[in-house]
Structure formats: structure tokens, C-alpha cells
Structure 1
Amino acid sequence: MPYNFNSENVDPSATSSRSATPVDSLPVQVLRPKELPVQPTHIELDACEDPKKMSFIHKWTIVSIISLSALCVTCNSGVAPFTENGIQRSFGISPEVSILSISLFSEGLGLGPLLLGPLSEFYGRNLVYWISYACFWLSTFPVAFAPNAPVHLVFRFWCGFAGSAFLSVAGGSISDLFTDATLATPMAVYTLCPFIGPVLGPAISGAINQHLDWRWTYYIELIWESAQFICLIVFVPETHVPTLLRRKISKLREATGDSSYGADSLAPRQGVFHAVVQSCVRPFQLIIHEQMILFLDLWNALILGILYLTFQAYPIIFENGHGYSMQSTGFTFLAIGLGMLISLGTQPYWNRLEACMSARCCGASPPELRLIMGQAGGILVPCALLIMAFTASPHITPALPILASIPFGTGIIYVFTSTFTYLVAAYRTYAASALASNAAFRLTFAAVFPLFAKQMCNRLGIEGALGLLAGLTALACPLPFIFAKVGERLRSKSRFAV
């Protein structure tokens, strides 16, 4: 073994007079083994490996593919209403049973995030994307080629469950790519897509079912899903920084044979089972203990339930009342989508307003500032529903309820955007659980509302049914105003809030 000569223990005076000093009095020279280089315990991603350092085009390519995948998933819920008559004829089932095609898909969307969200923190975004989207794609085959109603309905649930990854994981991918200063615009684009899907779906499905068999609705969905799946595999890299770091450290350890390489860079993690259980339990803890979360979730659930209820109400208004074809009735849903796009165009105004109010608070903006947009949305939604109620009669021009759909769509996005940003700001440590509770609540309502829509419209009349919904949303309208006033006091007493 080679040795290094260590001169730190040699007396300089002894060496200078070596010839005059007895040998026995010479200092003992310490011989130390040559030390191996110490491997660093802290490793970071290089600039070329950091997702936030990707090129502008690459980032927006990823955002576009993820957003379109989310749009494809939620559009799948919107295509079902115009297939109901077809599956009733094919399978010999009642209208009430055929509506389960919407409800079961929506319930799958609500339950899936509780499992898929935590898994992405352990195994990375891409593995969850690939497996869940593959299951979503494969589950669409039995939906399209179903020999009977049970097969069709069961796999509609699994389609929603598997596709829900793009409601729970995709937001994390976008936050991986952009800094806080540049996150608002890509997040707004992504957030819009899951809500555009349910209103784009009826437009697509109406046109297909007007001319083709109902199964073609899902054949075309399969083609779209196949294209999205290929794009996900080819163009979307892993963006979860802890996963990228673990992969890098694993390669370095394998190359050096040193298991301590990068030990300080890996944060300790709980087990997968514990994380999944926690993700299922904590949302309900927040609902039970946090009044703000409970009431905001109920508000959001009511509004999304009403959006899904339009799947049954619009055909009654336009197809039965005004004699529209199935295709034309489907196109009326695009007015809601137009309102949603208008809300995206007004985002810079709300950003400036929030910045001005934050400046008045000396830069320390409270979470309640995020509810300003929700105040506008809370007024728009009941007003739009009330106009629809007054103009839904077959004796009044159909242009009026279509025009009223525009502010309805704008108000929906205002309400959801303000609620999501408020929950993240007020419950930052538990933001994922707060959003999961919101998703479970609102998608459960979305699953239930279509089940009684026709009965309610038949009993109350379409005008009475819309008037009732306008009244319910009007009762919830003061919520953002109340929480803007008392939210800080409630947060001070909370064990979860910031």
C-alpha cells in the first residue's frame, strides 16, 4: 500500500542540526495511509437537467400536451349525454340507467386523485402518466365495443378513475417547469382545459350522433387518446425534481460503488401505503375541522353539479322546446366555453387588481385577496341562471338563453380559480389535501346532479328548475364576501391554515 510522508510532526530545529543530534532523539515520523477522495454527500441537478432551465418552446410543448390530455379526459365526460338514446336502444335499458354513463365517469374522476396524487411523489410524474393514460385508453375499448350495459358502465368508471391523473398530477408538472413569477399564465391555461372539456364534449358528440352510431363517439375518442398517448411518451420528459435527483444519485452510486454518495440530497420519505392512507384521510379531516373549506367546497360542488346538470337541461330547452337537431343542441354548449375563454382573457386585470391591493397591505397580501375574483363569479352565476330561467320558454327566442350561457361560463371559471388559489394560499402546507377535498366534493355532485335533472325539469318545468338553481347559487353568493371579512380571524384559530 502506498504511503504519504507527513511532515507536520517533524521538528524544524531537529532537521536543521541532524548531524549533531543522536539518532535516538530524532522524532518519530508518522506514516499515514493515503486517503481516498471523499465523495460529496450533497448533489444538485445541473443546469441542463433542471426542468426550470428548459427552453421556452420545450416548456410550452409540455404544457400543451398535458393540457390537451386533461381536455381529452374531461371531454370524455361531456360526450356521454348524446349517446344515451343509442345505448338505450342497443342495451334495452331505461333512461335513468343510461345516465350512469355520465355519473360513473365523474365519480371515477373524483376518487382517482386520492391514489394517483401520492404515487407521483414516489415514482415521478411520467410513470403515473404513462400507466394511467394507458389504462384510460385501454378502458375505452370495452366502452366502445361493450356487448351489454354492465360492461359499458363499469369501464366508464375505470376510464374516469385512470384519467384523473391529469386532474391531480398535471398541476404539479407545470409547477416543476416554471418559477413562481412565471407560473400564472401556464397554470391558467391548464386550469381552463378540464372545465372546457365538459362543454366541448357535447358539441363533438352531438355532431357525431346526428349522423353516426353512438359507438363512433368512442371510436373517435380512441383515436384522440392514441395521439395524446404517443405525444406523452415522445415529448414529455420527467419533470419531478426529487425523482430526477434520485435517478442521478443512483447512477453516481452505481458508478462509484459508494452508497453514501449524495446522502444529504435525498429527503426522507414516508412509505407509499402511509402516503396513500394520509391522502384519503386528510381531505376529510379538513372538511370536518375547517368551516371555510367545507363551505367553499359545497359552493364549488353546487356550481359544477349545475354545469353537469346542463347535459340534461339543454336538450330539453333547445331540442325539445325549440326543435333544434342533436348537432345544433350540442353546439349551444360552446357558449359556455366562450364565457370560459373570456375569463382567461380578463386574467391580467385581476392580477393587476390583486397587485394593487397587495401594495396597500405593504406587500404582505392575505389569502383573502384571492377571493375578489370569486365575488364577481358568485354574482355572475346566479344572474346568468336567472336570465336562462326567464328565457327558457319555447315562446322566447333561443338566442337569449344562449347569450346567458356566456356569463355563466365566465362566472364558473372565476369561482373555481379564486377558490383554488385561496385554498393553496391559506392552507399551503396542506394544499394538496385541500384541493383533493374540493375535487372529491365537486365531482361527486357532478355525478349525482344528472341523475335527477330530467325528473326535476319535468316536475318544476325547465323555468322553475333553473329558477331554483339560481336561488341556490344566490344563497351561496355571499360566501366570498363573508370569508374576505372573517377569513383572517378563522385562520388564526385553525390548526391547518397559514
Structure 2
Amino acid sequence: MMDISLPVRSTPETFSEVSDLEVGIRTSTDNDHSLDKKKDYVITNIAEFASTSHPAHPRNWPWWKRWLIMMVYCALQIYVIWTSNAYGSISTSVQDYFHVSAQVSTLNLSMNILGSGLGPMFLGPLSDINGRKPVYFCSIFLYVIFNISCALPKNVVQMVISHFITGLTGSTALTNVAGGIPDIFSENKSGMPMSLFVWACAGGGIGAPIGTGVDSNPKFGWRWLYYINIIVGGFFLVLILLIPETLPMKVISRYELAEGRIIEALPKVKTSEVFQKMKFISTMGFRMMFTEPIIITMGLYNFYAYGISYFFLAAIWPVFNLNYKMSSMSASCTYLAGFVAYSLLFCYQPIQDRIFRRSKKGNNGVVVPEARFTSALGFTLLFPAGMFLFAFTCNPPFHWMVPIVGLAMSSIANSHNWSSILNYLTDCYPMISASAVAAFTLPSFVGAAIFAHVSIIMFDKMSTKWAVATMAFISISIPFIIYSFYFFGEKIRVRSALTGTKAIKYLPISD
């Protein structure tokens, strides 16, 4: 019996790649008569499953395979987001059908958003330990089922509950895509995939014209929004079955078992370990949300920033439909200004990636997560600037393109900040990336749910100009948050109990 250890690179920080962890592998050989048999490797250290040097690690797959997986899952993200964006276009029809108030009808939207925030708190940790693919398939299957319930509700209560569950199950796209990017891309190459994910989130904006189109067509009606979801969801279920698992621990363990090796580090099926997993799944996201300064601050930022996107979704009707006398379809299409802005930002991402690689090279090859915010120092200023431009030009005699430019400016800043934050979180929490993303997103969706209702009151009680201007004054604080993490992020990380590889001791797997 002999011990073999992979070489370990010494780094001054805990934010080096997971492959830097020491990996212990016991190799047993017998006498010459056993040479005709396959050698028996006994893997005893869980760090082996996270080693990027392993030939089966998803990061070592062909580039085309990794990007194909990424594009499929980003398309899935567009699919699940368009429902919440589309509902604003059919809300009045649902209100008339059930004879309820605007606030009650909007509960369908807010509960969908709230479910989208709560879902990742459980689906994120679940995918971190049991794999991405099973979580994808089961949750999207339930998403399709409850879209049937949304299409054929007996009353508005059933529809509200069904919307909450579709948000809960559909949130797997947000959790698994963002949290799974580190599975298949190194931190040097994760910028473009994360930017594509953010672009896909903006792509959900096509839901607004889709909702308007089916609702205004006498041959269809609002129910067809959900019928379309059912059809497209069935297509994605087939694709998910064809896409491989990407969680490194799962992929590498299957490879080793197929090679005839014994893996002692795999969790044993014991009652105590089942409860340990359940505890991890149900508490890790909430623990991070309430104890990690990085998650708390970023969550508060996105509480406002993501809420503003739904505030603008409500604003397009009084601004473009009433003030500028546009048709319902034309007003819906103005929301796609954000999609155009995100597309332009996606083209900029290679420059940000180059800045990040240079910062890493200048730090002796050690990742500097704060470098993710370098470009954001400039872009984030567009957030309040765009909101003020929208607020004070959203009425004639200003041309309707002027407030759209303001919307695009805020969208560029918001999308770049969001992409930077997601990359920052996956750099800071590589061992529990999906859990970190989940903890970050819950306040975001709570904010969006609140803003969906607050916007109704504000646009009813205030002029459009001052409703938006009020939010613009609040947005002045956004740049200060980004600047704070750029300059003081390292000090915050050092005091964290879960950043870097420190979180490995909390994973419910024996090593």
C-alpha cells in the first residue's frame, strides 16, 4: 500500500482553484500474478471530485460541448422568465375574467416572482450535492404541470397558487445555470458564459409582446400564454434528458466507478446522512443570506435593482400607451430596449474578461474577485442617470425615443452590475456556488414582488414623472455599493466563514 498525493500549489489566499486542494489516492497492487487484472484505486478524499486536473472534469470537455450545454440552458432561462414578463400584458384580461381588482390580479405576478425567489433556496443546495440534471428535469416537469393549472383555473385562488408553484419550479433555471457555470468554465473563461446568462434573463422580455399578441388575438386569448408554455416545456424536457450532468463530483465519480475504482469518499446511504443532506438543503441558502456580509449587501442591492425592472414593466403602459398614444403591442415592444442594451453589453464582455485575466496575472496567478467590478465602476453610474432621463422626458414634447434611451442606460448598468456580481459570487464561493446564487436572488425576487404592487399605487397616486423620479433618487446609492466592494471586498472575504474552499467542511459528504 502506498500513498500518492497530487502536487499542491501554495497560495497566500484561499481563493485559488479547487484543484489546489490536496488529493489523496490509495493504490493497492498485488504480486505479479495480479498484473493481468485491472488495478484497484481507492479514492478516499472528496477533493478529488473537485480537481480540475482530472481528465473527466467537465471543464476539460471539448469547448463546443460546453457551449452547447450553456446555450440550451440559457434558452431554458428565457423560457421560464417570459411568463412573469408576459403576465403584465394579460393581467387586465384575467382581472375582467374573474371580476377582481387590479391588486388581486397582480397577485399572480407577485406570487410567481416570490416563488422564483424561494425556489433557489432549496434547489440550489440540492443541485450542489445531488447534481444539476435531476433538479432540472423534475422541476421543469412540475413547471409544465402547473402551467396546465394556470391555463384552466376554476378560480383566481387556484391561479395564484399555481403561479407561485410555477415560479418555485421554474427558478431552477436561474439557480442551476448561474451556479453551474463554474462546473464547465474556469474563472478565466466564465465571463462570457455568465454574460450570456444575463443576456438570456433579458431575453425573457419577449414575454411582454407574446402576452399582448395572444391576449389581443380573438382566436387565442390569455390562456394561450400557458398553452405555449406547456408545448415549449415538453420540448425542453426532451433536451434536458439529452444534456449530460455537469456537477464535477457526480461526473468524476461516475467516471471512476466505470473504470472499476472504489470510491470511499462517496456518501453512504445512512439515515443520519439523509438528515444531514436535508439540513444542508433547507438551511445553507438561508444561512448565507443572514450571515455572509457579501450575500447580505448584494442581496439588498438586487432587492432594489431587480424590483426596478418590474417597476419599468408597469411604467411602459402609462408612458407609452397613455402619454405617447402607442398601441398595446408597440408599448410592449418598448420593454425590449433592455434586451438590446444587454446584447450590446454582451459584446463588451471580452474586454472585461481581459481586464480580469490581467489582474490575476498581476497577482501571481491568484484570483482577485474584486477585479470583476473594474468596468462596473463606470457602467454603474448609468443606473441613476438613465432613470433620471426616463423620469423627466417621459411626456411629450420629448420624442418617445428619449425615455427609451434612459431605459436602455439603466438596463446596461443593471445588467453589467448583475453579471459582475454573479461572477464575483461564484469566485468567492466556488464550493457552494449554486447556494450562493440562491441566497443572493431571494431578496431580489422579494423586491420584484413588492415593486409589482407598489408600482400600481405609485402610478395611480403620482404623476408618471415623479413616480419614476422617486425611484431615481433612491438609485443614487447603487454606485456606492459597487465602489465599496471594489475597494473593500478583500477585507470582507477574509472574515467570511464560507468563501473559498472553507465551505467544504459544511458539505454533507464524508471524506
Residue type at the aligned position of 2:168: F
Contact 1:305–1:448 (Cα < 8 Å) also in 2: yes
Deviation at 1:167, TM superposition (A): 1.3
1:135 and 2:142 correspond: yes
Which of 394, 405, 408 aligns to 1:406? It is 408
Residue 83 of structure 1 is matched in structure 2 by 90
Say if 2:227 is the partner of 1:219: yes
1:202 aligns with one of 205, 208, 229? 208
Rounded Cα–Cα distance in structure 1 between residues aligned with 2:494 and 2:72 = 41
- Tell me if the contact between 2:288 and 2:436 (Cα under 8 Å) persists in the aligned partners: yes
Aligned to 1:229: 237
Is it true that 1:40 corresponds to 2:40 in the alignment?
A: yes
Normalising by structure 1, report the TM-score.
Answer: 0.83
Counterpart residue type for residue 402 of structure 1: I
Aligned mates of 2:92, 2:113 — CA distance in 1: 20
Q: Distance in 1 between matches of 2:361 and 2:58?
A: 32
Write the distance in 2 (CA, Å) between the matches of 1:282 and 1:429: 12
Which residue does 2:76 correspond to in 1? 69
CA distance in 2, matches of 1:228, 1:496: 34
* Rounded Cα–Cα distance in structure 2 between residues aligned with 1:122 and 1:352: 32
- Offset at 1:236? 1.0
Deviation at 1:266, TM superposition (A): 3.1
Aligned length: 457
In the TM superposition, what is the alpha-carbon distance from 1:273 to its structure 2 partner?
Answer: 3.9
Which has the larger displacement, 120-129 or 449-458? Answer: 120-129
Match of 2:488 in 1: 486
SS in 1 for 2:42: coil
Distance (whole Å) between structure 1 residues aligned to residue 166 and residue 442 of structure 2: 16
Identity %: 24
Q: Which amino acid aligns with 2:317?
A: P
Give 3-state SS (helix, strand or coil) of 1:271's partner: helix
In structure 1, C-alpha distance between the alignment counterparts of 2:258 and 2:431, rounded to whole Å: 32
Structure 1 contact 110–164 (Cα < 8 Å) conserved: yes
Alignment of 1:237-316 (within 5 A): 237-247=244-254, 261-264=261-264, 266=266, 271-316=273-318
- Determine helix, strand or coil for the equivalent of 1:478: helix
Further displaced range: 35-44 or 216-225: 35-44
Unaligned runs of 5+ in 1: 1-31, 254-260
Aligned-partner SS, 1:41: strand
What CA distance in whole angstroms lies between the structure 1 residues aligned with 2:411 and 2:320? 18
Residue-by-residue CA offset, 1:415-439 (whole Å, 9 max, x unaligned): 1112122223334455444322211
Larger radius of gyration: 1
Give deviations 1:241-289, integer Å, cap 9, x for gaps: 4334444566677xxxxxxx51346367983543343344344444444
For residue 217 of structure 1, give the secondary structure of its aligned residue in structure 2: helix
The correspondence for 1:92, drawn from 99, 120, 124, is: 99
Q: Structure 1 residue 482: deviation in Å?
A: 2.4
424-433 vs 119-128, greater mean Cα deviation: 424-433
* Partners of 1:488 and 1:250 in 2: CA distance: 40
Q: Quick check: 2:199–2:342 contact (8 Å CA) kept in 1?
A: yes
Q: Which amino acid aligns with 1:309?
A: F
SS at match of 1:42: strand
Measure how far apart 1:366 and its partner are. 3.1
What is the CA deviation profile of residues 75-128 of structure 1, one whole-angstrom value per residue up to 9, with x for unaligned ones? Answer: 111110011111111111110011111111111111111222233344432222
Q: Which whole-Å CA distance do the structure 2 matches of 1:479 and 1:178 have between them?
A: 27
Matches within 5 A, 1:142-221: 142-197=149-204, 199-212=205-218, 213-221=221-229
For 2:306 and 2:298, the matched residues in 1 are separated by 12
Matched AA of 2:88? P
- More relative contact order in 1 or in 2 (CA 8 Å, sep 6+)? 2
Where 1:397 maps in the other structure, the secondary structure is coil
- Describe the shift of the 1:112–1:268 C-alpha distance in structure 2 as closer, same or farther (beyond 3 A): same
Question: Shift in Å at residue 315 of structure 1?
Answer: 0.8
Letter in 1 for 2:76: S
> Structure 1 464/343 Cα, relative in aligned 2: closer, same or farther at 3 Å?
same
Question: Is the Cα contact below 8 Å between 2:345 and 2:412 reproduced in 1?
Answer: yes
Aligned counterpart, 1:21: none
Maintained 8 Å contact 2:387/2:406: yes
- Show the counterpart of 1:19: none
1:282-338 C-alpha deviation (Å, 9 max, x unpaired): 444444444443222211110100001122111111112212111111100111110
Q: CA contact under 8 A between 2:132 and 2:245: conserved in structure 1? A: yes
Give the deviation of 1:65 after TM superposition: 1.5
Q: Point out the more displaced range, 79-88 or 60-69.
A: 60-69
Q: Whole-Å Cα distance in 2 between the matches of residues 49 and 368 of structure 1?
A: 30
What letter matches 1:443 in structure 2?
F
**Deviation at residue 460 of structure 1 after TM alignment:** 2.4
Q: Which runs of 5+ in 2 are unaligned?
A: 1-30, 501-511
**Distance of 2:249 and 2:367 partners within structure 1:** 30
Greater CA deviation, 398-407 or 373-382? 373-382
Q: Partners in 1 of 2:244 and 2:360 — Cα distance?
A: 37
Q: 2:109 aligns with which of 87, 99, 102?
A: 102
* Partner SS, residue 147 of structure 1: coil
Amino acid at match of 2:456: K
Does the 8 Å contact 2:188/2:357 carry over to 1?
no
Instruction: Indicate how the Cα distance of structure 1 residues 398 and 137 shifts in structure 2: closer, same or farther if over 3 A, else same.
Output: same
Paired residue type of 1:204: I
Confirm or deny: 8 A CA contact 1:340 1:412 kept in the other structure: no
| Residues in 2 aligned to 1:49 and 1:381: alpha-carbon distance in whole angstroms | 43
Q: AA paired with 1:157?
A: F
Q: Separation in 2 of the partners of 1:245 and 1:491?
A: 29
Match of 2:386 among 381, 384, 395: 384
1:127 is matched by which residue type in structure 2? P
SS at match of 1:458: helix
Q: Distance in 2 between matches of 1:243 and 1:342?
A: 36
- Equivalent position SS for 2:76: helix
Q: 3-state SS of the aligned residue for 2:40?
A: coil
Task: Supply the distance in 1 between the matched residues of 2:356 and 2:84 (Cα, whole angstroms).
Answer: 34
Amino acid at match of 2:380: G
Equivalent-residue separation in structure 2 for 1:289 and 1:152 (angstroms): 35
Superposition RMSD in Å = 2.9
8 A contact 1:306–1:449 mirrored in 2: yes
